[in-house]
Amino acid sequence: MANVIIGIHGLGNKPPKQILEHWWLHAIREGLKMHGFKTNTPKFELVYWADITHEQPLNIFVKDPESPFYAAERYVKSPKNFHVENHSIRRKVVDFLNEQINKLFLNADFSLNYSFITNSILRNYFNDLNVYYKEECTIDNAFECKIKELIRNRLLTVLEKYKNDNVILVSHSMGSIVAFDVLSFMAENIKVHTFITMGSPLGLPIVINKIALEQKQRIVGKNHMITPNSVSRHWYNFSDISDNVALNYKLADDFLPNDNGIEPIDFLVTNNYEYKGKRNPHKSYGYLRTKEFSTVLDAFINNQELTLQQLIKQRSTQALGDVKRHSAMYFQRFKQFLHI
């Protein structure tokens, strides 16, 4: 039984599969090396579905930023002097907003209030996701109504290909929704050792509502969110507090344990992706090289089991490091203020 990494990308147009797969692998290897893990990466395959929702891929040779095929955010190595900000206030605000948003939009039975607002957000800001959830089908939009099935089948085919192997499934952004749906509704009998979600919108009310609707159609009487039973050992959820797509980063509050006792373990991480001086805390490459992701991947590759205590210790060590960095920064500013 071999170890295999399966990745699935998120929403938006992408470069061709070969390039995107190459960039993901570069980011994964960069993270392992950067954090001191001398591990060779096993077989890696990226589930690519951007060609289903976009007629042409992004072109890395296009120089005009105004072109729809300009690759605005390509893989680049970690910035040398990345500034880690203190987001303690933002975290409190996000936690408060999440609580209020869930109360406002989501009922106890997972039905939606003010669906015209959430549907408008999907149409204007998350077109791929809006198409994925297309419900009103006509002759004119017949292809759009097949997109969800086509995307899911891409992942299902790859999962079946490695069904006898030890699989870690790494999903980013909208890819985490696709992965959750396939694991829940199509690949129940295919075991995935570790499920990773990064920058995931799974906790948003509109997404929970869509999952609940399909769940009720397929599994009569089920009225709660649950970790897919195909996840056999771990579900880790990584979010940057500045990532607006992963606004509700506490998936453990939304998804109950599966029959194996597996539930999401949430980690706030620092996504250090920058391109030409502009930061994007949602970008996959930044998530793929975080210490937390590299630690989990190294343990998977070496067939080691991280205990919850080890993960908590790792998270505490990281938090202590952040405090030290922030303290040093503020002290330096204070010295400058005093002209020392």
Tens of pLDDT, residues 2-45: 999 999 999 999 999 999 999 999 999 999 999 999 888 999 99
Please give the pLDDT value at position 173.
95
Least confident of 186-195, 198-207, 247-256, 330-339: 330-339
- Put simply, whether the predicted model's pTM sits higher than 0.75 gets the answer yes
Asked if the model's pLDDT at residue 106 lies above 90, the reply is: no
Nearest Cα residue to 39 out of 49, 28, 48: 28
Q: List Cβ neighbours of 32 (8 Å cut-off, separation of 6 or more).
A: 39, 41, 294, 297, 298
Q: List Cβ neighbours of 200 (8 Å cut-off, separation of 6 or more).
A: 171, 172, 173, 176, 177, 237, 239, 245, 246, 251
- Structural domain including 18 reads 3-306
| Phi-psi category of residue 168: left, alpha or beta, with phi > 0 → left and psi -120 to 50 → alpha | beta
> Domain check: are 160 and 300 in the same one?
yes
> Domain check: are 280 and 315 in the same one?
no
Q: If pLDDT is split at 50, 70 and 90, which confidence band does 119 have?
A: low
Phi first, then psi: give them for residue 238, nearest 5 degrees: -110, 130
> Domain check: are 95 and 83 in the same one?
yes
Q: How many domains does the chain have?
A: 2
Asked if the model's pLDDT at residue 166 lies above 50, the reply is: yes
> Domain check: are 267 and 327 in the same one?
no
Q: CA–CA separation, 337 vs 340, rounded Å?
A: 8
Nearest Cα residue to 236 out of 249, 223, 225: 249
| Contact predicate 195/183, CB 8 Å | yes
Q: CA–CA separation, 236 vs 314, rounded Å?
A: 14
Phi first, then psi: give them for residue 338, nearest 5 degrees: -85, 0
> Domain check: are 301 and 325 in the same one?
no
- Between 98 and 306, the higher pLDDT residue: 98
> Domain check: are 249 and 330 in the same one?
no
Q: List Cβ neighbours of 9 (8 Å cut-off, separation of 6 or more).
A: 20, 24, 46, 47, 48, 49, 50, 172, 173, 175, 284
Using DSSP's 3-state secondary structure scheme, residue 46 falls into strand
> Domain check: are 294 and 315 in the same one?
no
Using DSSP's 3-state secondary structure scheme, residue 163 falls into coil
> Domain check: are 69 and 22 in the same one?
yes
Asked if the model's pLDDT at residue 338 lies above 50, the reply is: no
Select the highest-mean-pLDDT range: 45-59, 138-152, 306-320: 45-59
Using DSSP's 3-state secondary structure scheme, residue 59 falls into strand
Over residues 232-284, the pLDDT tens digits come to 999 999 999 999 899 899 999 999 999 999 999 999 999 999 998 899 999 99
